[in-house]
Structure 1
């Protein structure tokens, strides 16, 4: 399956459905705490990973995130591991501009960002633990790009499928993505059928029994 076709399959799914599918397959479920910093937003794409660390003496190297932006395309979501720090920004307005111009779909940061208004004006989705004006200059440096990172306790590898929305974040290992998409689509179809019954007047206890929500076959009648 092509990368575009795979993303098309996930486009109809939200983080909750993907998390349920991950659960069903014994993979790490979705997490909370990382949310859009402006307005309702959702983002879906293949991870381009980047890890940061505290700045030490010596050269700072390339400006943080620039190499990740330059390796990204219109199917990418940049994933930033800043170890959950909330005392210094790990993403800002010029980075949002550069990423938006490359067609990047958004950024997911285990940390905080700044220049929220600039991201909003660009229509560029930024997910993080919040915002702060404190600059990364002199405080952070880039440790790696394209290597596995940890975000809110989830391991994210380059090319994994990232699904983030107002509910939370789910990360799908690339090798299991087609399987997860198939299971999640079945979950969505089942829950829509249950919702239709509730709207039609069925009692919740009848429509939402555990076996049905789990996808078990209905008992013989």
Structure 2
């Protein structure tokens, strides 16, 4: 469904944009329903526990603090269990493992220090990232540009807008290739 649609297209069509970036270069679009997690920086255990709920879905984690809550072993577990990707409003570690497994992870950054497997967080509750409430089941799409959130009830409307946007961009590209200046096409 989202294979040939970029997150910029979706953002232009009204999807909510999260200020998170891919941790490694990815060459595909990752999408799926959200399984949400909220933890403090000392608890990566709840994140690991949530992997078992995320087959064919995207794990979306809100972290309070700056320690890493996701790393190499969790990446391997996600890959084996069929998790589509991981979005973390926080930090990760073990980039060499994430890269080796070519697993899509989006985060604020990297920190080699991690907490412990405490399992005191919450799974499948509404979480807030960048002033956007992400609910379990929201559609998450990530690519090399970043991450967007689509509310289930807005999906059809946004996909319709994306088709219109892509058609308009196709016409503009054709005009540029015929020698027109973008400023003139856009009447700037």
Q: Which of 46, 55, 59 lines up with 1:73 in the alignment?
A: 55
2:88 counterpart of 1:109: yes
Q: 1:45 aligns with which of 28, 32, 41?
A: 32
Distance 1:194-1:123 versus aligned 2 partners, 3 A rule: same
Q: Aligned-pair distance for 1:120? A: 1.1
In 1, Cα distance between equivalents of 2:26 and 2:54: 24
- Number of matched pairs: 187
Distance 1:70 1:114 in 2: 20
Alpha-carbon offset, residue 126 of structure 1: 0.9
Distance 2:182 2:22 in 1: 32
Check if 1:21 corresponds to 2:13.
yes
Q: CA, structure 1 residues 198+50, in 2 after alignment: closer, same or farther (shift >3 Å)? A: same
Relative to its length, the structure with more strand (as a share) is 2
Over residues 27-63 of structure 1, what are the superposed CA-to-partner deviations in whole Å (9 max), with x where a residue is unaligned? x64233x1111123542211111110255xxxx7x92
**For the structure 1 residues 29 and 72, does the alpha-carbon distance in structure 2 shift closer, same or farther, using more than 3 Å as the test?**
closer
Residue pair 2:22, 2:144 contacting (<8 A) in 1 also: yes
Residues 209 and 170 (structure 1 numbering): CA distance in 2 closer, same or farther, change over 3 Å?
A: farther
Runs of 4+ in 1 over 6 A off after TM superposition: none
Give the whole-Å Cα distance in 2 for the aligned partners of 1:169 and 1:186.
21
1:44–1:77 CA contact under 8 A, matched in 2: yes
Q: When the two structures are superposed, what TM-score results if normalisation uses the length of structure 1? A: 0.77
Q: Which segments of 5 or more consecutive residues in structure 2 lack a partner in the other structure? A: none
Give per-residue Cα distances to partners, 1:61-92, cap 9 Å, x unaligned: x9221332111112x11000014x3x300111
- Give the greater-gyration-radius structure (CA): 1
Q: Which gives a bigger RCO, structure 1 or 2 (Cα 8 Å, sep 6+)?
A: 2
Q: Which segments of 5 or more consecutive residues in structure 1 lack a partner in the other structure?
A: 1-7, 23-27, 211-221
Tell me how large the CA RMSD over aligned residues is: 2.1
Partner of 2:174: 196
Distance 1:203 1:35 in 2: 31
* Distance of 2:18 and 2:46 partners within structure 1: 25
Tell me the TM-score normalised to structure 2 length.
0.90
Give the C-alpha shift of residue 164 in structure 1: 1.7
Listed as ranges, the matches of 1:114-125 within 5 Å are: 114-125=93-104
**Partner of 1:135: helix, strand, or coil?**
coil
